[in-house]
Amino acid sequence: MGDVELTLLRPEVPEALIDEDAFAEDEFLPYWAELWPSALALARAVGRRALHGARVLELGCGLGLPALVAARRGAAVVASDWHRAPLTVVARSAADNGDRVACVQMDWRAPAVAGGFDLCLGADVAYDQTGAPALAAALAALVRRGGRVWLADSVNTARATLAEALTAHGFAVEQTEVGEIEDGRRVWVRLIEATRR
């Protein structure tokens, strides 16, 4: 991740975290326990930037790799997820690396933190096309004017709706694609960098 080295805690067998009752209720699977190519691509982008003193929020943090890299780059970081289990893992990873990351359980549709962030991060938080308008609205409320949003998602799930929704909420949007390796093969990740006007 640039010149950032850190230790990342991960469940050894993510499938062992499947709760049959939770799955039966709403098809919940512990996707947070996987290290996805989008999180790697976003962490690499974060690792190339100086963030000293920036207020950073990661939405849907999962294992929290982008948040951990941002903390190492000098940012004041809040990692958030709607599920409690990943926050415990992120807090332990931060402590093991000697970094500080505040962890907040919340759904980004109803943020439990005050806005004014310099940077909001999210990896694979926009895979549901119908959620793009709500995500863009939440980001507009969370990011200060002139602040930035960095999002990453698989090119397979990337849709124009998110960029359109961000533009409609006053963001200037740039998109690029980067390659990552997953299971020995090259996959493509879309990076969105948006600045709130």
Q: What residue ranges define each of the domains in the chain, with the CATH number in brackets?
A: 29-196 (3.40.50.150)
3-state secondary structure 29-65: CCHHHCCCHHHHHHHHHHHCCCCCCCEEEEECCCCCH
> CA-based Rg of the chain, rounded to a whole angstrom?
16
Q: Is the pLDDT of residue 127 over 80?
A: no
Q: What is the total residue count of the chain? A: 197
Tokens 């000697």, residue?
98
CA distance linking residue 48 with residue 120, whole number of Å: 16
pLDDT at 29: 52
In the three-class reduction of DSSP (H, G, I as helix; E, B as strand; rest coil), residue 18 is classed as coil
CA distance linking residue 173 with residue 136, whole number of Å: 12
pLDDT interval class at 24 (50, 70, 90): very low
Segment 2-27 mean pLDDT: 65
Model confidence over 86-120: pLDDT tens digits? Answer: 999 999 999 999 999 999 999 988 899 999 999 99
Segment 37-44 mean pLDDT: 96
Mean pLDDT (the chain, rounded): 89
Instruction: Quickly count helices (H) and strands (E) in the chain.
Output: 6, 7
Q: Is the pLDDT of residue 15 over 70?
A: no
Q: Could you tell me which residues come within 8 angstroms of residue 18 by beta carbon, excluding any fewer than 6 positions away?
A: 29, 30
pLDDT at 17: 55
pLDDT at 133: 92
Model confidence over 157-169: pLDDT tens digits? Answer: 667 889 999 999 9
Closest CA to 127 of 43, 189, 171, 40: 189
